[in-house]
Structure 1
Amino acid sequence: MIAFSGDTEWKDNLVACSSDSDIFICECFGYRDKEHFHISWGYIEQKLPQITAKKILLTHLGEKMLAHVDEIDRPRVVIADDGMLVDL
């Protein structure tokens, strides 16, 4: 099963939406700061224990997030790249 956040601010129903999915494709525009109409890594990181997706693919990365991608080191979290192929 594939779960997709779309382009949105963090909503707690994303945890239920992505529950037990094979992959949760989640936009991650910002790094720590609250981004209007977008999700930041700070929110995702905080919710990781509740997100039960097997893999979390972060997409739609903004400049602040791109500057910190090397700091994201979580077993299930993958940073999307243009043209990337994902095996399920």
Structure 2
Amino acid sequence: MQVCLRFPASRYWLIPPVLLSQEDTTVHLSCTQTTDHVNMFWYLQRTGQGLALIVWSIRDQSLEYEKGFDVNKFIVTRSDTGKTMVTNCQTIEFNFSKR
């Protein structure tokens, strides 16, 4: 089952809102925003740790990965509707394994 979470007073949806995964499995998350904001950021929080920025992008510019995150393990695609960035969609694929 997928659940759509809407953050209060915003226009962001994350499907599924929370996802727990075992090591060496692939999971998919989708985030949609319906605002005129052009920045998108993906964070990872491992058990017992704080948030870590994985990747970010502005509009249709290239993705910027943070040090320590492998572009082959954290696969991100971003597509635009062509309507002045009103709707931005981004999907991230995690393949969790021991670091």
TM beyond 0.5: no
Q: Provide TM-score, normalisation by structure 2.
A: 0.30
Structure number with the higher helix fraction is: 1
Q: Which has the larger radius of gyration?
A: 2
**TM-score, with normalisation over the residues of structure 1?**
0.32
